[in-house]
Amino acid sequence: RSCLNRSRFGSRERDWLKEDVGRGCVYVYGGDSAATPSDLRLVLCTVDTSASEICDGEGRKNLFLQLHGDLVRRLEPTEKPLQIVYDYLAGLGFDDPVRMQEEAANSDLSCMIRFYSEKPCQVEQLDRILLSGVYNVRKGKTQLHKWAERLVILCGTCLIVSSVKDSHTGKMHILPLVGGKVEEMKRRQYTLAFTSAGAQAQTYHVSFETLIECQRWHRQASTVVSMRLGMVDLSCYSLEEVPEHLFYSQDIIYLNLRHNFMRSSGAGSLDSLCRFSQLKSLNLSHNRLGEFPVSLCEISTLTELNISCNGLHYLPSQVGKLLNLQTFWLDGNFLTSLPEELGSLQQLSCLGLSFNNFCELPAICEKLITLDKLALAGNLLETLDLAVLNRMSHIKNVDLRLNNLKRAAADTLEGNKSVTYMDLRDNQMTDLDLSSLGSLEQLHCERNKLKELTLSGFSLRALYANSNCLAAVNIYPVPGQLTCLELSHNQLQCVPDWACEAKKLEVLDVSYNLLVELPSRILSSLSLRKLMAGHNHLQSLPPLLEHVPLEVLDLQHNLLTKLPEMLFVKALNLRYLNASANSLESLPSTCTGEESLSMLQLLYLTNNNLTDQCIPVLVGHPSLRILHLANNNLQSFPA
């Protein structure tokens, strides 16, 4: 304790530190973020010393923590500052206890992790939250009214003018600024005219003492008047409560309190938000709440509530009171279930449940008939229960990325006619049969362990199945609406027959497979615009008999000795060709005639066996912009 008011340690303190790596010191700054050495204190402590002990030793009530010069939060009394520093260093990669002790004692570390005895506030932040002062004020646009000193406050969406000088107790005149205007007066120096919107517009003239002060008010007021709706953004201000003057802004519809440390009770806390009579949208994500604030359930006007990333383990039954709620974001919490009362929210059309701890599809979603998307990415589901999904006939979009899905189970042969989009990326599935989803239009199942995939082709428009172990992809009937098919990084030995019959297929990616040939129907397709077939075992390509709309052709890293003779004649739209890392000895000729019709712009032929005989062919591509010919057998390159 004798060291608490010192800015440096002597030899005795250094010897004490060396005796145990669990001992150390923390630097405690005053409330000024641009701290001077005079308000810096060194505190000897151990990894078991709590914040309350340090506060008692310094005669302070609280200790605050700031990371990377960003948000500032109040430490709980039981939190241990030195252990926080050690954990931070461990996250940076330090693992030697002695080295960690040395780094923790380095004052330079304070630029990344810093403790304060008072909460620091930057002027720029304060300006955006609230401006106030005593200024000369005149009401109205005419000269009839006299100038008088009044307390003036700009907070939220309103200009607040007291009826008595420097008094908060008298009547406060409220001037709504949304949709209004703020102008500089030419006849009086450093004076602004604040005018509300509407036919009954009122005007207040406020005279400031300095140009800088006038500019600060003008800048902040201009932001407010430019809004069409009552919107207040107080995100990332390290707030524990909202300013009391904000409640004068009764036209607030959207309130953003994201990335703060809002308290559940007390003046200006979450309990007070029900005083906003028109509030429709509230963002409280990233506030370290720990529990759902029950007081929010009294704000009956809410249509959107974001309470993501707050460490919630459950929802109270009172959420059933939010009958007007349409959008409810609960992502990034620890939820395992939802209360039955949630089923009362019959207007709920968007429910975010990603990155929680759900082990199964929430049954309550069956009652939310206006809900069209099931957002459960990053949970703990192991089985995709198609029977439960069938009972949710209103669900069209299913997002189950980043779960632990191993299989899809169907207890009934009943088909599902509602799901049109499904995302199963980054799971552990080895086989997948979704043939019962007759209305499925788009499927993402990349980065699983799939060996076989079975789908319905009635409505399918896009299939993304890259990075699996697929040896077979079965789709019936032929997907007549399919436009995009991505099957790269699999174990396919041939292109599926149904893909050759897909009359609207525009994009086909079968790169990084085990293909030894391409069907002639694929290369001659009258719809295909992009074909990616690189990194296979192709030895030859079928001839082109008809004009095709192909624009992109990737054949790199195969075993080709030649390209189709009529490639540049029949594929006049070809803009990109990559045939690098093959065994090409020659190139197909271009169109004959005075003017070439070739549109080829990018040509990659690196690492082949091309000779000087290919040079005249290149002249037939006047639009060529990029040409790679490295590692070939060229002897010369004539101008």
Three-state DSSP state, 104: helix
Q: Are residues 208 and 312 in the same domain?
A: no
Q: Domain check: are 275 and 219 in the same one?
A: no
Q: What is the 3-state secondary structure (H, E, C) of 261-279?
A: CCCCCCCCCHHHHHHCCCC
**Where residue 93 sits, what CATH number does that domain have?**
3.10.20
| Residue 188 to residue 309: CA distance in whole angstroms | 50
Q: Is residue 462's pLDDT more than 70? A: yes
Please work out, in degrees rounded to the nearest 5, the angle formed at the alpha carbon of residue 119 by the alpha carbons of 113 and 125: 95
Asked if residue 133 is part of any domain, the answer here is: yes
Does 331 reside within a domain?
Answer: yes
**pLDDT (tens digit per residue) in 282-304:** 999 999 999 999 999 999 999 99
Euclidean distance between the first and final Cα of the chain, in Å? 84
Q: What are phi and psi of 295, to 5 degrees?
A: -60, -25
Same domain, 217 and 290: no
Q: Average pLDDT for residues 59-66, to the nearest whole number? A: 88
3-state DSSP helix/strand/coil % of the chain, to nearest 5: 20, 20, 60
Task: Choose the final residue of a domain: 116, 147, 173.
Answer: 116
Torsion angle of the four alpha carbons 160, 164, 169, 175, in this order, in degrees rounded to the nearest 10: -20
Strand partners, 530: 507, 552
Is there a domain that residue 534 lies in?
yes
Q: What angle do CA 587, 593, 595 make, to 5 degrees?
A: 90
Instruction: Encode pLDDT of 531-586 as tens digits.
Output: 999 999 999 999 998 999 999 999 999 999 999 999 999 999 999 999 999 999 99
- The CA distance from 46 to 357, in Å, is 35
The band of 3, judged by pLDDT with boundaries at 50, 70 and 90, is very low
> Are the CB atoms for 58 and 4 separated by under 8 Å?
yes
Residues 333 and 201 in one domain: no
Residue 341 sits in which domain range? 229-380
89 and 134 inside one domain:
no
pLDDT of amino acid 229: 86
CATH number at residue 175: 2.30.29.30
Which region holds residue 538: left if phi is over 0, alpha if psi is between -120 and 50, else beta? beta
Same domain? 134 vs 112: no
Q: Are residues 234 and 350 in the same domain?
A: yes
Same domain, 206 and 269: no
pLDDT score, position 390: 93
Report how many domains make up the chain.
4
- Look at residue 1 in the predicted model and tell me its pLDDT: 44
| Count of Cβ atoms closer than 10 Å to residue 10 Cβ | 9
The more confidently predicted of residues 4 and 431 is 431
Mean pLDDT confidence for 267-279: 94
pTM of the predicted model as reported, rounded to 2 decimal places: 0.86
Return the SS3 of 81.
Answer: helix
Is residue 274 one of the residues assigned to a domain? yes
b/e burial code for range 239-258 (CB count within 10 A of at least 16 → b): bbbbbebbbbbbbbbbbbbb
Helix (H, G, I), strand (E, B) or coil at 476: strand
CATH number at residue 352: 3.80.10.10
Query: How deeply is 454 buried, as exposed, middle or buried, from its count of CB atoms within 10 A (0-12, 13-18, 19+)?
Result: middle
412 occurs within a structural domain: no
